[in-house]
Structure 1
Amino acid sequence: MLWPLITLLATVAATLAIGWIVDQVLQRIAAGHPGAPVWPLLRGCRIPLQLAIVAALLLAANPLKRIFHLKNDNGAHHAILLLLLASLGWLTVRVVAALLEALLSRYETVTDDPARVQRVHTQISMLRRVVSAVIVVVTIAVMLLTFAAMRTIGASLLASAGIIGIVAGIAAQSTLGNFFAGLQIAFGDTVRIGDTVVVDGQQGTVEEITLSYLVVRLWDYRRLIVPVSYFVNRPFENWTRRHPGLLAAVLLHLDHTTPVDDLRTALRNRLDHNPLWDGAEWALHVTDTTPSTIVVRATMTARTPDDAAQLRFDIREQLIAYLRDEHPESLPRLRTTD
C-alpha cells in the first residue's frame, strides 16, 4: 500500500517539477531574445503539458489499481487515456497558435506595407481557426475510437456512409458554403482585417473574420455581423484593398457672385495647416450650376479613410466660416423681385 502511494506522489511531484523547469527555461530564453514573441506564447502551454505528463506517468506506473484495490481497472485506465488524448490535443492547439502568432509578429517586423500585413494577419487568423478545428475533430475522433462500441459499429456505419454523407451535405449546404467562402476571402485577398468597407450603404472597419461570418465595426461603434458568403456573392466597396489613402470631397452650394479664385486660395491655406492632409492632391472646381446657385467641389487626399472623413468635416466648416466672414454675399440667397 505504501509503495503505490509513494509512486502516485512521485508522479505528481515529477509533473509539477517538469512543468516548472520547462517554464523557467522558456522564461530565460524569452529574456535572452526579447524580440522573439514565440517563447512567451509557448509559456501558455504549461497546463496542457502537465496534464499530458501526469496522464502518461499514471498510465505507465498504474498506481491507482493498487491504492484502491481495483480488481478491474479498465474504467480508470480508460479515463486516464482519454485525459492523455485530450491534453495532447489541447497542447497541440496551443503550440500551433503560438507558432502562427510568432510568425505574424515576425512578418510585421520585416515589412513596412500595412496592406500586406493586414493580408497576412487575415490569412494566419483563418489558418489558426481551421487548424484548431481539425485538431479538435481528430482528437475527439481518436477518443471515440477508444470505446469498444464505436469500433464494433464501425462496419455498419461505413455501409450507410454514402447516404448519410448526401443528407449531411444537403443539410449543411449553407454552413459548408460559408466555410469555403471564408477560405476564399482569407487567401483571395478580397477583404482583410482592418479594411474599410461599405456594406449595404453602411461604412465600417472589418474587425474580425471567422469561418462563417465577418464583424464590421461601424462609425458609431455598432457591430454589423455579415455572413462571409455575402462578400463572395454580392458586390461591396473596399476602400483600403490596395492603399489606405482616400480622396475626400466637399460640395458647397453657393451664390453666383462667389469669388472662386479666392475660395481656392483659402482652401489651399487651410489644407497647409491641417495635419490630416497628406499633401498629395487637392483641387477646387465649379462642377454644376442652377438658376440660383453654383455647385463647388473641393477635393483633397488623406492617408486613411478616418482621416479623410475628419478632413472633410474640417474643410467644410472652415470654408463656410471663411465665406461667412469674408464674402457673406457668396452664401446662397433667395432672390425676389418686386
Structure 2
Amino acid sequence: MSPTWQSWSAFAIALLAVVAAVLIISAIASAIVRAIARRRDWAKILIRRVRWPFRVMLLVVGLWIAVAVSFAGQEWRPGVDHALLIAVIAVGGWLACQVFLLLTDLGMQRYRVDVADNRVARRARTQLAVLRRLVVVIVVVIALGVILFTFDSVRALGASVLASAGIISIVAGLAAQSVLANLFAGIQLAFSDAIRVDDVVVVEEEWGRIEEITLNYVVVGLWDDRRLVLPCTYFTSQPFQNWTRTTSQLLGSVELDLDWRVSPAAMRDHLDAILERTDLWDGRAKVLQVTDAVGGLVRVRILVTAIDAPTLFDLRCYVREELVHWIQRTHPEAEPAQRMLLQRGGETGRTDAPPKPESAPASDHGAGDGDRSGLFTGTREAEERAAQFTQAIPVVNPPSADEPARSTIETTEEWPRAVRRP
C-alpha cells in the first residue's frame, strides 16, 4: 500500500474516531446537564444555548487533530491548518456569544414583567437586551479581526493602518455619523432609563408599547397591531409621552356634555355603585365634577384610576357606557337638548305680537316697549357698529306695522356670534 493510501486510511479511521468521541462526549455532557435540569432551570437554558456550538467546536478540534496525525509533513498542510484555525476562531466566537446570551437569559429570569408594578424589571430587561446586542457585536468584530490578522499580508496592512489611525478615524466618523449617532443613542436609552421594554408611550400621535430596543432603532407596537419603527436618535432629540416612566398606575378622565337638569349628586352616587361592581378600578381615586357650563350644556368630568394603561382604557369605556345607560333609563331629562328661541313680532317667547298703539311714534326700526337705544341696537348708527363687529352677519329687524309678522329661529349656540334682538 502506497504512503498516500496509508495516510488517507489513517485519516478515515481518525475521522471515525473523532465522530465517535464527539458523540460520546456530547452524550455524557448532555446526560449530566439534563440531570441537573430536573432541579435547576438554568441547565435547560444551557442545553438550548450551548449544545450546538459545543458539538461543532469538538468536531472542528477533532478534525484538526485527525489531519495533523494522518498527514504529517504534507506540503498542503499549512493551508489546511490555516482554514481549520479560522474555523476554530469562528466557532469559538459563536460559543462565546452563546455563553454570554446564557448569562443574560439567567439575568432576565430574575425580573418578572407579568406583575402590576414592573418598572424595575422592565428597566433591567431593557438594559440586558441592549447589552447583549452590544457584546455580540463586539465579539463578532473581535473574531473577524483575529481572523484577518492570521493572514500575513493583512497583518502588514494593519501596522500601516494603525500608523494612520487618526485620519482614518476622522473619515470613518464623518462617513458613519448617523450610524454612530444611533449606536450611542441606543446605549444612552438603555442606561438612562428614558424608555424601557414594555413601556406605554405616545409617539407621533400614536399610542403603543415599546417592543424592542436595538442599537439602531426602537420598535413600538401600536394598539391596532401595527409596528412603528423609529431611530434611537428620535427618543433622544424629540419629545414623547411615557405613561409608565415611574409607575404603571394611571389616572384617566371621562367627559359627558349633559343638560342643565342633570343632578351631579345623583351621578356621583351612581358612579360609586359602578366602581364597586368592577375590578378594573384600583380604588385610589374617583372624582366627579362639573367643569364647564356654557352653550346650553354642562360638562361633567369623571376621574378614575387603574393599575395600568390597558385597564384604564377599559375602565373609562365601562364607566362611560354605564353612565349613558343610567341617564337614558332613569334621567332622560338630563340628555343633551338643543334649545331654540322663537322670535315673533319683536317679543321673545310670545306667538302673537301686541297691537301697536296709534299714539306710539313710528321709528325706522319697528315698535317695541321702552327705550330701544343701545350700543348695537336701537338706532341706525348702532346697527352700523354692529355690522362692523359681526362681519356681514345680518341683523334681523322686527316687522313693522305694515309688514306681515314673521318668525326667526336662532339657536343658543349662534347667539354669541350674532346680535340678538330683545
Shift of the 113–283 alpha-carbon distance from structure 1 to 2, 3 Å rule, reads closer
Cα displacement (A) at 1:175: 1.1
Are positions 1:58 and 2:63 aligned together?
Answer: yes
Superposition pairs of residues 1-338 of structure 1, within 5 angstroms? 1=6, 2-33=9-40, 36=41, 38-44=42-48, 45-62=50-67, 66=71, 70-108=74-112, 113-338=117-342
Asked whether the equivalents of residues 8 and 63 of structure 1 are also in contact (C-alpha less than 8 Å), the reply is no
Deviation at 1:65, TM superposition (A): 5.7
Change (3 A) 1:113 1:278: closer
CA distance in 2, matches of 1:190, 1:41: 30
AA aligned to 1:260 is P
Q: Aligned equivalents of 2:173 and 2:341: distance in 1? A: 75
- Cα distance in 1 between the residues matched to 2:97 and 2:295: 69
**Cα shift at 1:155:** 2.5
Q: Partner of 2:282: helix, strand, or coil? A: strand
Using structure 1 for the length normalisation, give the TM-score.
0.94
Deviation string 1:88-118 (CA, Å, 9 cap, x unpaired) is: 1001111110111112213449x98511011
Secondary structure of the residue that 1:279 maps to in structure 2?
coil
SS of the aligned residue for 1:277 comes to coil
What 5-or-longer segments of structure 1 have no aligned partner?
none
How far did 1:63 drift? Answer: 5.0
TM-superposition CA deviations, 1:288-319 (whole Å, max 9, x none) = 11131011001100111001111111111111
Deviation at 1:42, TM superposition (A): 1.2
Contact 2:253-2:304 within 8 A present in 1 as well:
yes
In 2, Cα distance between the equivalents of 1:143 and 1:58? 19
Q: What residue identity is the alignment partner of 1:54? A: L
Q: Which amino acid aligns with 2:27?
A: W
Deviation track 1:18-67 (CA, whole Å, cap 9, x = no partner) reads: 1222121111111122xx3x211111312111221222233334258639
Residue range with higher mean Cα deviation, 264-273 or 45-54: 45-54
CA distance in 1, matches of 2:217, 2:159: 37
Letter in 2 for 1:99: L
Structure 1 residue 209: Cα displacement: 0.6
CA contact (8 A) 2:117 2:248 kept: no
The equivalent residue for 2:389 is none
More relative contact order in 1 or in 2 (CA 8 Å, sep 6+)?
A: 1
Determine the C-alpha separation between the residues in 2 that align with 1:18 and 1:148.
Answer: 36
Structure 2 CA distance, aligned partners of 1:112 and 1:294?
Answer: 37
- Provide Cα deviations, 1:58-92, integer angstroms capped at 9, x if missing partner: 3334258639x953222221111111111110011
Cα distance in 1 between the residues matched to 2:289 and 2:245: 28
Give the paired residue count: 333
C-alpha distance in 2 between matches for 1:276 and 1:168: 54
SS in 2 for 1:139: helix
Q: Output the CA distance in 2 between the equivalents of 1:291 and 1:141.
A: 74
Which has the larger displacement, 241-250 or 151-160? 151-160
Contact 1:65–1:71, Cα closer than 8 Å, also in 2: no
Does structure 2 retain, via aligned residues, the 8 Å contact 1:51–1:83?
A: no
Report the RMSD for the aligned CA atoms in angstroms. 1.9
1:266/1:113 Cα in 2 relative to 1: closer, same or farther (>3 Å)? closer
Report the alpha carbon displacement of residue 322 of structure 1 after superposing the two structures with TM.
0.8
Q: Deviations over 1:4-30 (max 9, x none)?
A: 322121112111221222121111111
Return the letter of the residue paired with 1:13.
A
